[in-house]
């Protein structure tokens, strides 16, 4: 680190990226299907924060919260200087497994 330089912090750069967390919908009744081998699998992410429409993603894991099931996914969105990789917990209703 160099004293005297004024650069945006990592938090400020993340806030400027335009990617925002998605609102959480109502609870889901049944748990999502799991893979037996413990590896990630392809999924479609519907209306992710930072990208319109549907984008391909990698579903890494599931968790259950009081508001319902969530999937941890990684997907790319367009950024000001090229694609940006996003990793986020999203509601199960916005994910479609392949």
Look at residue 53 and tell me if it is in a domain: yes
Structural domain including 46 reads 34-97
Look at residue 14 and tell me if it is in a domain: no
Look at residue 89 and tell me if it is in a domain: yes
Look at residue 12 and tell me if it is in a domain: no
Look at residue 77 and tell me if it is in a domain: yes
Look at residue 3 and tell me if it is in a domain: no
pLDDT tens digits for 33-91?
Answer: 665 666 789 999 998 887 888 999 999 999 999 999 999 999 998 889 999 999 999 99
How much is the pLDDT for 46? 93
Pairwise CA distance, residues 10 & 82, whole Å: 18
Instruction: Please give the tally of structural domains in the chain.
Output: 1
pTM of the model: 0.61
Look at residue 4 and tell me if it is in a domain: no
Q: For the chain, where are the E strands, in sequence order? A: 41-46, 54-65, 68-79, 82-91, 95-97
Query: 55 is written with which tokens?
Result: 């984008």
Look at residue 61 and tell me if it is in a domain: yes
Pairwise CA distance, residues 53 & 39, whole Å: 26
- Indicate the pLDDT class of residue 31, thresholds 50, 70 and 90: low
């Amino acid at each position: 680190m160099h004293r005297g330089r004024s650069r945006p912090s990592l938090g400020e750069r993340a806030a400027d990226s335009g990617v925002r967390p998605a609102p959480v919908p109502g609870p889901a009744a049944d748990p999502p299907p799991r893979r037996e081998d413990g590896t990630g699998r392809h999924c479609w992410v519907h209306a992710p924060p930072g990208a319109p429409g549907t984008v391909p993603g990698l579903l890494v894991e599931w968790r259950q919260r009081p508001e319902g099931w969530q999937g941890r996914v990684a997907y790319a969105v367009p950024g000001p200087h090229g694609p940006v990789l996003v990793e986020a917990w999203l509601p199960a209703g916005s994910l479609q497994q392949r």
